[in-house]
Each structure stands twice: as structure tokens, then as C-alpha cells.
Amino acid sequence: MDACAPRLMPDVLRTFLIEREGQRGTLGLTTAMHFFHRELKYDMDDEWWAQAGMIGFLPVRCSFRVDPSECAGLTVVDVPIDDVEPLNRSLSHGIFNDDGPKRTARDRVVRILQGFRNDAPMPPIELLRAPVDSQYRFTLYHGAHRFYCAVAAGFSHVPAVDVTSRPAVHLDLDTDDA
């Protein structure tokens, strides 16, 4: 058995709240699904979740799968999600954003979620070590879409590389992520 397990405790289960009265989305619940990473609340359109085939999805391990060949020479470790400082993008564009005119947030999120569902390998998240006085061990450097999709999918950990000493690595590899 893995040293870690998927998030299955009641306090971290996906929370569905009605955002806009009178509007119903694909799941018949609401037009947005709400998730939490520590004190950070973020939303995902329930149609994205349904389009990705995630209805009923439960992770079978603590983190999504990584193809080691995509991380040539880098050490990948499973980092507890709660060890990563929440990302505050709310003043600019929220957690899930478009990547210019070529890729929409929807396309990016659906592709990542489909990867989780199909157990497809993806690049790890890139993290920086947090300052010693921080309540967190790491801050997110690159991979916000993968990270927050992993939280929504119920993973307790994320595969990550520490890029503190070389923050220009960017393991995108055409994975639709920022």
C-alpha cells in the first residue's frame, strides 16, 4: 500500500454549493462546483467536469501519474497538497485562465482531467521552497492547472520537482498547463 492515500475524509470531499439561484449545470447541481485548498476557495464549471468524464471519479493512488522520461535528470517526489501555499490569483483572473487566444481554460482543464481519468502520465508540478518562516513548505512555481485539478479530483499529493535553484525549467511538454 502507498504511504499516502487519496483524499477521502469528509472535511476534504468535493463541496457542491448553489452559486446562482435558478441555474443548473450538467450535473444538475449548479453551474459551478466549489473546491477548497486550505482557505482558498475556487470554482470549476460542472460542464467541464462532465465533459472530462469525471463524474464518479475516485483516485486510486495519492497523486497523478508522471512519466519519468519527461523529467530527465530531475528528482520527482510526491508532495502533500497541504504543504503547498494556496495560489492567490483572484485579483487577476482566478485559478483557471486562458492561455492567450490559442487555448481556453476549459480546454486546458478538460484535457488535464481526462488525463487523470485515463491515468495518462503528465509532467510534475514545479515548486519553490518557501521561506523558513512560512507555514508552508513550498510555493507553486509552475503547474497551477494541474495542481488545482488534482485538488478537485481528490488527490492528497502531487508529483513535484523542486526548482528553487533553477526556476526556468518549465516541464510543459505540451500538457496545457501554466
CATH number of the domain at 153, please: 3.90.1530.10
Measured CA to CA, the distance from residue 92 to residue 124 in angstroms comes to 25
Chain segment 70-121, per-residue pLDDT in tens: 777 888 999 998 899 877 655 555 666 656 667 777 888 899 999 999 999 9
Our count of domains for the chain comes to 1
Asked if residue 16 belongs to a domain, the reply is no
Measured CA to CA, the distance from residue 157 to residue 107 in angstroms comes to 24
Chain segment 117-162, per-residue pLDDT in tens: 999 999 999 999 999 999 889 998 988 889 989 988 889 999 999 9
Asked if residue 18 belongs to a domain, the reply is no
Measured CA to CA, the distance from residue 25 to residue 111 in angstroms comes to 20
Provide the domain limits for residue 71. Answer: 32-165
Asked if residue 173 belongs to a domain, the reply is no
Place of cell 494556496: 86
